[in-house]
Amino acid sequence: MQSLHKIATTQTLINLVLVSSSFCAIYILVSVVLLGTPSKLENLHSSSHNVYESKTTTTLDHLVFGIASSRSSWPKRKEYVKLWWNTIRNTTMRGCVFVDTLPQDKDNNNNASTLPPLCVSQDTSRFRYTYSGWGGGMRSAIRVARVVKETVARMNHSHIRWYVFGDDDTLFFPQNVVKTLCKYDHRLWYYVGANSESYKQTWFFGFGMGFGGAGFAISSSLATVLVKVFDSCIERYPELYGSDARVYACITELGVGLTHEPGFHQVDLRGNAFGLLAAHPLTPLLSLHHLDNIDPIFPNMTIIKALQHLYEAAKVDSQRLLQQTVCYDKRLSWTISVSWGYAAQVFHNHLSLPDVVRVQKTFKHWTRGTALADQFTFDTKELHTDPCRRPTIFYLENLSRGEDGIIISNYRKSIQNCSSNVAPEVIRVASSKLELGIKQLLAQRRHCCDVLPSSVSDQMEIAIRECKEDELISMQ
Ligand SMILES: *[C@@H]1O[C@H](CO)[C@@H](O)[C@H](O)[C@H]1NC(C)=O
Ligand SMILES: *[C@@H]1O[C@H](CO)[C@@H](O)[C@H](O)[C@H]1NC(C)=O
Ligand SMILES: *[C@@H]1O[C@H](CO)[C@@H](O)[C@H](O)[C@H]1NC(C)=O
Ligand SMILES: *[C@@H]1O[C@H](CO)[C@@H](O)[C@H](O)[C@H]1NC(C)=O
Ligand SMILES: *[C@@H]1O[C@H](CO)[C@@H](O)[C@H](O)[C@H]1NC(C)=O
Ligand SMILES: *[C@@H]1O[C@H](CO)[C@@H](O)[C@H](O)[C@H]1NC(C)=O
């Protein structure tokens, strides 16, 4: 009892030492300093805590993806997977797309350089499925839940640190997924994911569940244990609706909780997702889902074309994608918000930062009915009733990285709901490539920006930079 008490009250100081690499910071936790009189604990600590962490560099090679698909959805949905699979130079990704049976046009799926291989799921007819509530449910949920087990079972465990799961309409941003998983030690048990945007969905399925379409990650150490108990566990949950609920149930039975990463997006929304994409959380963008159910994210483009456009920005600076930076033009009393690589907004008045970072409700709710359906799991605000208080919206036109390393992204005026508001035609944004080290990933801080004098008429120029130590993002 006494030593347990001591362990609980012993303060440990852990120093982080950083060496950055191209994919993930190498982190070494060097010293564990015990305060107080640790004599009785010495042995315990020297064996398990003193060198708590060794050198680790997690790269995309350490990840394995398990993608849930089907014979009927794959021919169309593979266009989504092509957007992100093997698009990072010099890296070959690992994983499988799980289908019930092989699609007819099998040859079309065999190009290893642009798509993952297809794996046929095992038979799951022996498992019971009894869900009969809202929506009726589909027993394929069992097959999809077992993608977790089959992905792990088919792979050799060496050099795998994380298993990442998603649907065939989940768009991952792989470099950001790697960066984010670097924060966690894969040798410990982690279940990393996100809730739905819809309060009703989250309330119904559980705040502790990683929504499957958003994508979630399981550390290899947890995965190897999970697969051993998986079938016996899901037998006990025939009444659950989805695949993700089954995975959640079994991980919960192992005593593990969800580590929330708000960069995963289930996108349980309909209509125009602009508000969500224009006010992303500070953490990197990890995924987008349900692209069939929302309008194309750029106007005047098809769904796929619009996504290709977003991935052009991801190629130039993956980590900065959708990062929201806000600056103020004191002379004009404007508030300018940039969601890097996607859109810029000019509010023709002063808005405080806490107001600008609220998500504008440009979208509709996912499910019909009750007031609960129109509540969200993040801060929202209604569009202003006065069109002249709504922002003028500029969408990404193009971007490039110069030889000096400076990245220029141009945003062109597209939507203006008030003719009396004067706004430039183009907003030109200068930034440098965002390279978050482990410390910054653990404790991210928003960047600042300045409105620069522009030499070109009808163009506004903005430079993004790190904020000064005590700088406040405000009109001042
Ligand atoms: C990528 O591969 C090319 C050709 O194989 C090689 O020249 C280049 O150095 C590699 N780049 C990196 C960053 O490894
Ligand atoms: C696979 O895709 C790559 C890139 O699109 C293309 O260059 C190559 O010709 C394709 N290979 C086959 C066998 O279709
Ligand atoms: C796993 O390892 C075995 C033996 O080394 C090998 O035959 C097999 O192809 C490997 N499987 C995968 C998916 O890499
Ligand atoms: C990029 O966009 C800017 C502003 O919209 C435009 O002036 C420029 O010509 C474009 N550059 C390219 C290479 O298309
Ligand atoms: C869409 O394209 C049409 C025709 O090219 C153009 O007139 C319109 O301004 C565009 N709309 C937006 C929002 O860019
Ligand atoms: C705002 O303007 C866009 C086109 O510029 C138009 O499609 C949209 O309906 C307008 N919205 C409102 C609320 O007036």
Kind of pairing between the strands at 380-381 and 359-360: parallel
CA torsion, points 118, 123, 129, 132, in degrees to nearest 10? 50
Q: Is 414 in the pocket of ligand 5 (CB under 6 A)?
A: yes
Task: Compute the distance from residue 389 Cα to the ligand 6 centre, in Å.
Answer: 13
Q: Which of 59, 87, 90, 91 to mutate to test the pocket of ligand 1 (most atoms within 8 A of CB)?
A: 90
Q: What is the structure's pLDDT at 133?
A: 84
Q: What confidence tier does 148 reach under pLDDT thresholds 50, 70, 90?
A: very high
Q: Is the CB of 426 under 6 A from ligand 4?
A: yes
Q: Phi and psi of 81, rounded to 5°?
A: -65, -35
Distance of CA 428 to the CA centre of its chain: 26
Whether 279 and 361 have beta carbons less than 8 Å apart is answered as no
How large is the average pLDDT for residues 168-177? 98
| Sheet bearing 334-339, strands edge to edge | 324-329, 334-339, 343-347, 392-401, 407-415, 426-431, 459-465, 448-452
Enumerate the β-bridge partners of residue 217: 164, 192
For residue 109, what pLDDT is reported?
56
Q: In which band, very low, low, confident or very high, does the pLDDT at 111 lie, cut at 50, 70 and 90?
A: low
pLDDT tens for residues 426-467?
Answer: 999 999 999 999 899 999 999 999 999 988 999 999 999 999
* Beta pairing, strands 12-19 & 26-34: antiparallel
The rounded distance, in Å, linking the Cα atoms of 298 and 194 is 25
Q: What is the pLDDT at residue 265?
A: 98
Cα(69) to ligand 4 centroid in Å equals 39
Q: Return the pLDDT at 137.
A: 86
> Considering every ligand atom, which ligand is closest to the CA of 397?
4
Going from the Cα of 400 to the center of ligand 4, the distance in angstroms, rounded, reads 10
Instruction: Report the pLDDT value the prediction gives residue 370, as an integer from 0 to 100.
Output: 72
Any ligand 6 atom below 6 A from CB of 417: yes
* Average pLDDT score, the chain: 87
Packing angle between helix 303-317 and helix 74-84, nearest 10 degrees? Answer: 20
Q: What is the 3-state secondary structure (H, E, C) of the chain?
A: CHHHHHHHHCCEEEEEEEECCCCCCEEEEEEEEECCCCHHHHHHHHHHCCCCCCCCCCCHHHEEEEEECCCCCHHHHHHHHHHHCCCCCCCCCEEEEEECCCCCCHHHHCCCCCCCCEEECCCCCCCCCCCCCCCCCCCHHHHHHHHHHHHHHHCCCCCCCEEEEEECCCEECHHHHHHHHCCCCCCCCCEEECCCCEHHHHHHHCCCCCCCCCCEEEEHHHHHHHHHHHHHHHCCCCCCCCHHHHHHHHHHHCCCCEEECCCCCCCCEEECCHHHHHCCCCCCCCEECCCCCECCCCCCCCHHHHHHHHHHHHHHHHHHCCCEEEEEECCCCEEEEEECCCEEEEECCCCCHHHHCCEECCEEECCCCCHHHHCECCCEECCCCCHHHCCEEEEEEEEEECCCCCEEEEEEEEECCCCCCCCCCEEEEEECCCCCCHHHHHCCCCCEEEEECCCCCCEEEEEEECCCCCCCCCCC
Which CA distances in Å does 258 have to 174, 202, 217, 277, 284? 20, 13, 10, 24, 18
Q: Measured between alpha carbons, how far is 390 from 383 in angstroms, rounded to an integer?
A: 7
Cβ of 415 closer than 6 Å to ligand 6, yes or no, is yes
- 316-465 domain in CATH 2.40.30.10? no
The pLDDT tens digits of the residues spanning 62-104 come to 999 999 999 999 999 999 999 999 999 888 899 999 999 998 8
Nearest protein Cα to ligand 2, atom 11: 111
List all residues 6 or more positions away from 273 whose beta carbon is below 8 Å from its beta carbon.
267, 294, 295, 297, 362, 363
Whole-number pLDDT of residue 21: 32
Mean pLDDT lowest among 146-150, 227-231, 323-327, 362-366: 362-366
**Model confidence band, residue 27 (pLDDT cutoffs 50, 70, 90):** very low
Q: Is 414 in the pocket of ligand 6 (CB under 6 A)?
A: no
* 387 touches ligand 6 (CB under 6 Å): yes
Whether 310 has a pLDDT exceeding 60, the answer reads: yes
Q: Is the CB of 257 under 6 A from ligand 5?
A: no
Residue nearest to atom 8 of ligand 5 (CA): 300
The pLDDT of residue 371: 78
pLDDT at 234 over 80: yes
Q: Is the pTM of this model over 0.75?
A: yes
Comparing 161 with 113, the larger pLDDT belongs to 161
Could you tell me if the CB of 30 is within 6 A of ligand 4?
A: no
Residue closest by Cα to atom 12 of ligand 1: 90
Going by C-beta distance under 8 Å and a sequence separation of 6 or more, which residues neighbour residue 221?
A: 186, 187, 188, 189
pLDDT, residue 104, reads 80
Q: Is the pLDDT of residue 349 over 70?
A: yes
Highest CATH level, class, for 60-266: alpha beta
C-alpha distances in angstroms, 359 versus 268, 276, 447? 15, 6, 18
Amino acid code (one letter) for 150: E
Q: Whose CA is nearest to atom 10 of ligand 5?
A: 300
* Residue 52, pLDDT above cutoff 50: no
Taking the centre of ligand 3 as the mean of its atom positions, its distance from the CA of residue 153, in whole angstroms, is 11
CA of 91 to the centre of ligand 1 (A): 10
What spacing in Å lies between the alpha carbon of 111 and ligand 2's midpoint? 6
Q: 113: which residues sit within 8 A by CB, 6+ positions away?
A: 86
Is the CB of 418 within 6 Å of ligand 6? Answer: no
